A and B are shown apart, each in its own frame.
Chain A
């Protein structure tokens, strides 16, 4: 019974980390040549911002549903698997929203429905933007909008660091697992875990310092640059 629970947590952690590393960082959807991917990042960015703004003004459930369906349509024509897209967009925020609004469903059903639908539609459009645009292009668009260089630089580096953190966590997890063969007393387990977390912190710092030096070495000044195709 206990080990089943354990395995579930382990698998969830690993899945989460793999998701981070592969679909998030390596931008496989952004690299596909298709509808949304071929639009200029500036147009996408402003367009989607306006759509989101429009959505939060709407009160009619049908209108919101139409906007949502258009989003799904765009996702399909940009070669994003609908299952993946739904997982990505429904998993986190909208489920929270349903939970948060639960009591309201009993009080004013229509209002609560509109509330959740609005959130779902906005989240879907924003994630569509993220999936179909490589992060350097997005950063470039942000920079063109006047966002200061230090923000853009930090976003770019942070994006990569999150990936590195996920890698280190994953490696640490396997290292702990390989060290701790069978059952271990919880106090010792805590010790192993916190020691590994401290090592994680140290290794990250060291690795990231080196990566930054590698960036400096090739002339990095903090500005996002994209090769125009």
Chain B
């Protein structure tokens, strides 16, 4: 590990990408050879689901590589676009009315770009309060001018919630790029990668664990697969992977483990919350199948990141007393 620690930043990150793409290639080849065998319909359906997930991971990995190779500005822009697409899907799933039109325009075309501009210009004081304070107050004002009292609180709350998760939560990931950590200049890209990796691994580990263990679900009406034991396994695996990556982070091994645990655990809880939301919206499909409105499941995939990023961001800041 000492040798790894002494490498330059680009060598470390390059190494990590080589490992990531290598692992993905191996998994893809194995998945392909398995398609050559005869299987039952249930297995085929499982396999289709797996293929969709694998494709999403590939797309994510390539996007990350592009973002890392082209610097902080492009990464921030990229997260902004993902934020936009996620918010679009969120708004599609919630029932807004005509009177919400102006508030939605405000959310999409003013709040969202501004939040990312604030991130890019590193105004962290404003960054933490802009949405929770100013936008929180501005949205109901604009909505009230929409002149429609029916279910007013409910509609406004939904828009605010969408902005909080899809814009505010997500914007904490690129904000990591710009954190000024001691002895860690220019390595923010790695922190983002670290976050995304542990969150993804927590999800995968939890999924595998819930299949293997078949525990009693913690909330059957919302998710048949979510159990506390599986959640714990997911978060723990994320922590272990996080600790294994400590050489490229600003943390020591034990804090790296804790960081991985916290980020992974909050990510899978975020996924759980999104399941509740989709159940409420009446969407049965989960994970990449096109649904009624053509919502393609981006929200499912980025929600864990939206929940994990703020928690992780502030953990890092507290840890370094920033």
Partners in one complex: no
Which residues of B does A touch, CB under 8 Å? none
